[in-house]
Structure 1
């Protein structure tokens, strides 16, 4: 492992992939175990914070002398949109030379260096010259539906820095919770909330790691928690809610007292978060309260306005407050309107909302393809380029319905196509600020955070950092698990630890690790609400989860994508079936050691292996095997057996070939 070897693009464990990599020729001995302890020498670090960070990240490695040179002698105190994150990293026989124009680039070089040192790949002669493709590379974390303590947020920031991501977008308010502590309106804050001191501490922690924090107060919808504390800001009474889904509660857009309160709140938020951007939400505004209120209904009729027009008037007022504070507003793509104010549009409803914003000459953040809470495989997120042509993006969306891994939610994805109704054919150049992965927290709490987040976040990080030509998903997968080891927590290791803590044995993990949660909103909606959504009548239907539901079942701890199942798919069908049957032995004869929740999916997995034995023995035709495998591969409750999906795909190919 530590001897001389040839280094190639196939073996370099670096994620995101750098812009330029020059590999040494021939066989080289990497810096590592037999080198002296790392000695960090920094030129251009007057405050010492770069030295402290380098020691924290690299202190456990032995790479000899690390020379860091920062050209700018007066670094900015906080990260900002157009900061220079470029760096140059060269490995010599004596150690490592890292240079950058400023502090922020040096941070990114340290992240790359840490990954290479972890995998013992600091080969003399290696040269990396690197800079990001997009200036905004973020993560939205929903701390409103489930609360994440300060320590968890700091760990997330460490993970973002390790992946060269530079924005943590905090969704601080929603129907279920209000996590910001307001001095002017102290009753707004939920029992679990962040104090002013904690948020200031978090901003400093993030700044030291080159991560901006963009706060969001979502309005005028998603405000049930606001109106429980201040019912006078709405038009109807409402009660505290722990359920998930769109709520009817909405701020009164005709009440000057509401705007006065918002102005105070935004001022308090801006006083804590120094970033130049401030998110004001604007998504999923249910119009029913406005339509049923006599004063608002009269105003709409008198002014000949739609409720969407009224929301735009509200947004214009709020954005002017943001501008007055010296900040720039960001809103979800429901803020799109022909007369909308000048704010950044965050795309989430498919490809068409991006181009609608571009047609209005508005800056855009792309999030639509990067929803981590949908439990999609990493390559699905990886395949969407933020600046792809709309036609290509739409074709990719349509193709997902044919993906065997997602066929069980194809009808749900079909439902989302109503988002395309206002599509425009934008003919200009497609240029966006960047993008954000989104982790909405209906089914995420601190116990399951690392598995839900880090399992696929590296793929999004690479899509936002690396050159547009970096599209090889096979290469991405080769590096993904190695990348996990460089993060605050390895998602796969955490999942195994949680399952063992539930009382399962090491031997039983072999089968459990072949299972995955169902995709899209299958878990969150449940079958009844899913069917109601497809029929357009979801609102009265109860969902199976709410904010107080315990997330302590096997399905909560499973990674969204089974890497052992991917490895099985590389074997012959007979070899894979044999391995699966071996993994099922610890569950006893007839799988009697499995409980009622797990036994159906494990039974399907066992039957699938038996089916392959029968097919290999010539007892079943390809068509018969394919039909039976398709039935077995369907979800069992909230679980999927990942090998059954790949076996069905393989049988489809075999049948087509014959």
Structure 2
């Protein structure tokens, strides 16, 4: 196999092979032409030493280094890059640091495959601008070291959004001023220093961290600490496993609105991303129907039903976030034309009618349940379905420019160890990464699977936690049975949450 063809994701414009070869010595020299990107030089030196396991020496651009970084004005996309391997050395060009870093991942894969590089020219750019992984650390806490390793894998395969699900019924994982009982050492949480480190670590690797605090539903962890924020006053016990729970935030109380705003304040202070995710999915409204405070709020606002009250709350908090320079993302369950058009919807439920999944005045992130939920079995979400999903999203993007991109999702109700999380992530993370990055005309599942089968080390450093090729694509009958059973479950959950399909 030609080693250039082993690149993941495969370059969108392919690979032009040239005559000759370039041979690396034991020490790699790194240069920056005309002192471009000076603030990144030291980081790049240290990063390459870590990932390549070899000594890296910074040199002047005129010294003919092994790898020369250059800045080019004619490239259009900020992640677009050109990598040229010539007999005298390699040249990596882009208009921005993001392009340099994404191109660097291609260079790293080339060097790790063979220290003698055949000369070539690679021009590359992403098919989708939003290429994400949602990691749920609320149901099962993810230690910092493991989290950083996931970010490294995302960077290598050119994913650029970490959607960090940091609260849910089963856990609250970050501190909020004025509400100290939300977190505890026993349950596990990330300090402000931890979060600052994760954000900085990801940002250096071209990954934007988008935090998610689900509200007004999925709030039992918060209500157990502050039951006065509920309609009933509790008491509440933090659950384990999955579920849709009746108790949610009481939006009729001024204290609850103040709490929601304080949470937004905290997210805005900790995360520089222009986006925050406020959940908004699976919200049974039964408590509001019998709550005097919520009913009084409805009367004040002139609303006739609790669904309208939910829309008011979502718009109110989104407006508050917008005042602070943040765009709000919501799961698409309840979003309709009454919701602020600046709200971005994340579509997960394929059983919703198309008119309910898409609204012309909202931007969209796609996360189809049966293609992107990596916590599900390989019978329900086989490797090939994950790979095909990117092509589907690219098609949608061509038809509707409001489609920003797509995410893979890893919920952790039952993935409570690193081994379980990695066995569900890999190699499906790579399938999604390639299909989100590589333009559809260059996508080939046959090539992709051949690469993984040939070199399983591309998947994960810990091979014991990676499912073998025989698991990746179960028999079609197994897949059909799994989908039928799960569709019944999704339908039942939607009915329980008051979502009409």
Q: What TM-score comes out, normalization by structure 1 length?
A: 0.64
Cα distance, 1:128–1:250 mapped onto 2, change above 3 Å: same
- Conserved 8 A contact 2:67-2:92: yes
- Conserved 8 A contact 2:80-2:94: yes
What does residue range 193-592 of structure 1 map to in structure 2 within 5 Å?
Answer: 193-236=189-232, 237=234, 238-297=236-295, 300=298, 303-341=302-340, 342-350=342-350, 356=356, 358-368=358-368, 369-375=371-377, 376-384=381-389, 385-387=391-393, 429=400, 431-444=402-415, 445-481=417-453, 485-486=457-458, 489-490=461-462, 492-495=463-466
Deviation at 1:483, TM superposition (A): 6.8
- Conserved 8 A contact 1:14-1:112: yes
Q: Deviations over 1:479-512 (max 9, x none)?
A: 234675245525x44348xxxxxxxxxxxx9999
- Conserved 8 A contact 2:384-2:473: no
Deviation at 1:387, TM superposition (A): 3.6
Cα distance in 2 for partners of 1:514, 1:316 equals: 42
Deviation at 1:114, TM superposition (A): 1.4
Cα distance in 2 for partners of 1:537, 1:430 equals: 28
Deviation at 1:36, TM superposition (A): 4.3
Task: Tell me what 1:141 maps to.
Answer: 135
Cα distance in 2 for partners of 1:22, 1:50 equals: 25
Q: Secondary structure of the residue that 2:140 maps to in structure 1? A: coil
Cα distance, 1:356–1:533 mapped onto 2, change above 3 Å: closer
Task: Tell me what 2:60 maps to.
Answer: none
Q: Which runs of 5+ in 2 are unaligned?
A: 58-63, 497-501
More strand by share: 2
Q: Which has the larger radius of gyration?
A: 1
- Conserved 8 A contact 1:347-1:354: no
Q: Deviations over 1:328-366 (max 9, x none)?
A: 111111241221012111111128677656533211111
Deviation at 1:18, TM superposition (A): 0.8
- Conserved 8 A contact 1:12-1:121: no
Cα distance in 2 for partners of 1:534, 1:142 equals: 22
Cα distance in 1 for partners of 2:210, 2:237 equals: 29
Question: What number of residue pairs does the alignment pair up?
Answer: 470
Cα distance in 2 for partners of 1:167, 1:157 equals: 10
Cα distance in 1 for partners of 2:470, 2:358 equals: 47
Deviation at 1:378, TM superposition (A): 1.3
Match of 1:189 among 183, 189, 208: 183
Q: Secondary structure of the residue that 1:379 maps to in structure 2? A: helix
Task: Tell me what 1:608 maps to.
Answer: none
Q: Which runs of 5+ in 1 are unaligned?
A: 1-5, 74-81, 394-426, 497-508, 540-658
Q: Secondary structure of the residue that 1:221 maps to in structure 2? A: coil
Task: Tell me what 1:638 maps to.
Answer: none
- Conserved 8 A contact 1:176-1:241: yes
Q: What TM-score comes out, normalization by structure 2 length?
A: 0.83
Runs of 4+ off more than 6 Å: 61-64, 509-516, 518-523, 529-539
- Conserved 8 A contact 2:139-2:241: no
Deviation at 1:188, TM superposition (A): 0.8
- Conserved 8 A contact 2:182-2:222: yes
Q: Secondary structure of the residue that 2:47 maps to in structure 1? A: helix
Say which is worse superposed, 55-64 or 165-174, in terms of deviation.
55-64
Cα distance in 2 for partners of 1:61, 1:177 equals: 43
Deviation at 1:242, TM superposition (A): 1.9
Cα distance, 1:339–1:278 mapped onto 2, change above 3 Å: same
Deviation at 1:157, TM superposition (A): 0.7
Task: Tell me what 1:172 maps to.
Answer: 166
- Conserved 8 A contact 2:240-2:413: no
Deviation at 1:464, TM superposition (A): 1.2
- Conserved 8 A contact 2:212-2:277: yes
Supply the RMSD in Å over aligned alpha carbons: 3.6
Q: Deviations over 1:101-151 (max 9, x none)?
A: 121111111111111222228633211011112211110000000000111
- Conserved 8 A contact 1:223-1:251: yes
Bigger RCO of structures 1 and 2 (CA < 8 A, at least 6 apart) = 2
- Conserved 8 A contact 1:315-1:335: no
Cα distance in 1 for partners of 2:495, 2:361 equals: 35
